[in-house]
Chain A
Amino acid sequence: MECYRLTIHEAADLLRRRELSVRELTQAVLERIQRTDPHTGSYLTICETDALAQAEQADRSLQTGHPPSPLWGIPIAIKDVILTKGVRSTAGSKMLEHFIPPYDATVVRRLKDAGAIIIGKANCDEFAMGSSNENSAFFPSRNPWDLTRVPGGSSGGSAVAVAADQALAALGTDTGGSIREPASFCGVVGLKPTYGRVSRFGVVAFASSLDQVGPLTKDVRDCAILLQAIAGHDPQDSTSVNFPVPDYQATLTHGVQGMRVGIPKEYFVEGMQPEVEAAVRRAIAVLAELGAQPVSISLPHTEYAIATYYIIATAEASSNLARYDGVKYGYRATPAGNLQDMYLHTRAQGFGSEVKRRILLGTYVLSAGYYDAYYLKAQKVRTLIRQDFRNAFTTCDIIATPVAPTTAFRLGEKVADPLTMYLSDIFTIAVNLAGLPGLSVPCGFDNQGLPISVQLIGKPFEEETLLRAAYAYEQVTDWHACKPPL
């Protein structure tokens, strides 16, 4: 049996019925990684020894009872910006190439407590900055549907690992689309939760007012299971919100009867790949056939979102990445000279070119004389973008849009032109600025056989509504079940 192809809930059923052991499952996934990862470059570190030891232990404890959680014995990939105790966590950067964290991120600890097996650390753009995974300091991941194309980014390795059955599910992070865009490019389900829903403790910071951890999974039920495990207040992250976590699986089957689905005219614009628009419109029509009620809405400040984002995100990045000074951990250059020279050369050699571009732009917009014109201005426009959503949600329950204007592009196609690369996040970025949950759900393929997804956007802390709509859609379509030829 090709048990690496299972979803979390399918594997959990077999484990509970003792028709599969955790060792068999873990071994199968590791073999799948060994066979296919040389083509996809999904992993930066594979935790073979630890994973097998964890698996043995999980099997032993199952001899005396039932699995205590649906994640018990499930192999999961972790994006390499998320810290794992004793396992190298590089954030895709040369700066942290040899960094071994002394503690687990809260999300990792929660997965371990639920009995999940950490199978490896997934490749990503350096410090989660990128939309193609080509900014990884080590090697790019490749799209399993077409190895000459990018998997999206920055959680590219996580998306590929799930799409190529090299993990049953994965965690990623999303600052401007970094879960949803790669999920879309690789044909898997990806959720960016509401800002504050999931702890960021132990996650390498990029832009702290935007970053959020979330699941990448093979179907919507798995997404609910994984969100359930990681959501909730964490005293160690003061931005995590102490707000009740609902039972996400309990409401999955409640359907979309009467649910108002907002369709923003600003998200269906000239220049989109026609097959993307057609697939997303078909997905909305399917929701309507299931009883949902499409309504036209407007998000008038959409065209300002990317400009706002590239001021706020770079400003926060310049501040967060000031910590990499070659003193306490990470790479250190050893030039002749004083401490100042050590700082200058450590950062010059440790960071890649995209990270440097963002640190410098962020430093500029925060610097004396420019703060009001750029940073403060962007924070005010951020308010207008939030208000757009607040107004829209008075007439609809969820919003449906494309995830990206195109399907996966070719490796190298956009690397020489950063602004063009940034524009591929045009439909995902506003969701981070407004702090809302956004779910990427497979909804078709283009004529090259590349996956397309619809994005469902919800009100703050209403992930269950998104999951319910996506689950209803998934029951009558089979896009999520399509597998890349690998």
Chain B
Amino acid sequence: MHITLQDIQRVAFLARLHLTPEEQTALIEHFNTMLSYVEKLHELQTEDIHPTAHAVDVPSPLRDDVVTNHPNTDALLQNAPARSATFFCVPKIIEP
């Protein structure tokens, strides 16, 4: 497995992270180190092994469908980087 600049750029876009050329170069090395390190997992036979997503085996709990969080617009908006009245503001979405 050898990571290319294009791999890094593809993943950076998926993660919505702008990277400088220096960061991209450093990440190629980091990815190659990490991916060759985790390669050791392939020493293990795991065809018949069930994957673990959670360490504690409890069923997903269900609760009654009642409202527990009441509307509190000001509290929700108090940390907004930009707001107008009761809305979050973002840069223009629809291109002309």
Contact = CB atoms under 8 A, between A and B. Distances in A.
- State the main secondary structure of chain A at its contact with B: helix
A132 B73 CA distance: 39
Contacts of A357: 27, 30
Contacts, number: 165
Main secondary structure of the interface of B (DSSP, over half): loop
A310 interface: yes
Given A360-B8, A360-B17, A364-B11, A307 B91 contact: no
A100 B80 CA distance: 11
A127 to B, nearest CB: 14
A340 B50 CA distance: 39
B79 A329 contact: yes
B92 interface: yes
Contacts of A382: 51-52
B52 to A, nearest CB: 4
Given A360-B8, A380-B51, A342 B90 contact: yes
Nearest to B54: A209
Interface centre among B15, B18, B58 (most CB of A within 10 A): B15
Given A361-B34, A364-B11, A379-B53, A304 B40 contact: yes
Contacts of B93: 338-339
B67 interface: no
Given A209-B54, A325-B16, A380-B46, A331 B81 contact: yes
Given A304-B41, A356-B23, A364-B31, A381 B46 contact: yes
A347 B17 contact: yes
Given A367-B11, A376-B51, A382-B51, A102 B72 contact: yes
B90 A339 contact: yes
Interface residues of B, number: 50
Interface of A: 98-100, 102-103, 194-196, 209-210, 235, 238-239, 241-242, 301, 303-304, 306-308, 310-311, 318, 322, 325-332, 337-345, 347-348, 351, 353, 356-357, 359-361, 363-364, 367, 374, 376-384, 386, 418-419, 432-436, 460
Interface string B51-62: 111111010110
Nearest to A210: B55
Given A329-B80, A360-B15, A364-B31, A194 B56 contact: yes
A89 B33 CA distance: 34
Contact of B40 (A196, A303, A364, A432): A303
Nearest to B13: A344
Given A100-B78, A344-B18, 9 more contacts: A209-B55, A342-B91, A360-B27, A363-B14, A380-B46, A380-B50, A384-B46, A386-B52, A433-B52
A87 to B, nearest CB: 13
